[in-house]
Amino acid sequence: MSRSLKKGPYIDQKLLEKIAKLKSGSKEIIKTWARRSIICPEMIGFTFGVHNGKEFIAVYVAEEMVGHRLGEFSPGTRFSRHGGKIQRELEAKAIKTEAAKIQAVKETEGKPEAKPAVKANK
């Protein structure tokens, strides 16, 4: 659910104060825990260290990011994969077929190519 239009976008005040102290394009990373803050045009050109629950992920704010939240660019969970035994078997099969393709390419590179016969028309 989005925020009410009469309230306007939520931007953490402490974050705005930190931005005001620095000039745009500086190399300094602004650390923040305010993942819910919406990216505003004043934030363009800054690098934020957005906390994901364990560490700070560096996020460089570009023009296309305006209107999104800081937390969208710092994932909190790591995707491992779906499936169990069957998925592992499929992945192993895919690795074997890929290795066979690579081996076939290497074998063809090592053999000298046959020169085509040229007929002389007289």
Q: Render each residue's pLDDT in the chain as its tens digit; 122 residues.
A: 677 888 888 999 999 999 999 877 678 999 999 999 999 998 999 999 999 999 999 999 999 999 999 999 999 888 777 778 888 888 899 999 999 999 988 888 766 665 666 666 75
Residue 41 confidence (pLDDT): 92
Is the backbone of residue 36 left (phi > 0), alpha (psi -120 to 50) or beta?
Answer: alpha
Is the backbone of residue 76 left (phi > 0), alpha (psi -120 to 50) or beta?
Answer: alpha
Residue 34 confidence (pLDDT): 93
* CATH superfamily for domain 13-73: Ribosomal protein S19/S15 (3.30.860.10)
Residue 114 confidence (pLDDT): 57
Name the residue among 3, 27, 6, 38 with its Cα closest to residue 16.
Answer: 38
Residue 6 to residues 12, 33, 72, Cα–Cα distance (Å): 17, 25, 24
Number of Cβ atoms within 10 Å of the Cβ of 50: 25
Residue 77 confidence (pLDDT): 86
Backbone angles phi, psi at 94, to 5 degrees: -65, -40
E-only strand ranges, the chain? 29-32, 47-51, 56-60
User: What is the C-alpha separation between 92 and 87, in angstroms, rounded?
Assistant: 9
